[in-house]
Amino acid sequence: MQFNVSTVNRVAKEIEESGKRIQAAVNSPNELESELQKLQSSMDSLQSLTQAGRAAGANANTAQNAPNQNQS
């Protein structure tokens, strides 16, 4: 998954809404479990984005540091 700020914002909003549902409407262990599964899914999405960012950063570490011999 490629890093995307709008995706981060969307997932953050989902997490926020889930927290509000937990505060307002969770009345049983099953309801809490359902919200926790949604939260875990959101966290997994964010984790995928950070791993993609690290991979992209790792590619940047392979950049040429020596002067290009073809430059004048």
Query: Per residue, what are the HEC states of 27-53?
Result: CCHHHHHHHHHHHHHHHHHHHHHHHHH
In a domain, 11, yes or no: yes
Contact call for residues 11 and 46 (beta carbons, < 8 A): yes
In a domain, 69, yes or no: no
In a domain, 38, yes or no: yes
Query: For 23-72, how does the pLDDT look when each residue is reduced to its tens digit (9 = 90+)?
Result: 998 899 999 999 999 999 999 999 998 887 777 665 554 444 555 566 55
Q: Note if the pTM is more than 0.75.
A: no
* Structure-model confidence comparison of residues 12 and 51, the more confident one: 12
Q: Please give the tally of structural domains in the chain.
A: 1
Tell me the residue type at 44: D
* Structure-model confidence comparison of residues 8 and 54, the more confident one: 8
In a domain, 17, yes or no: yes
In a domain, 43, yes or no: yes
In a domain, 37, yes or no: yes
Per the structure, the complete domain to which residue 50 belongs is given by 5-56
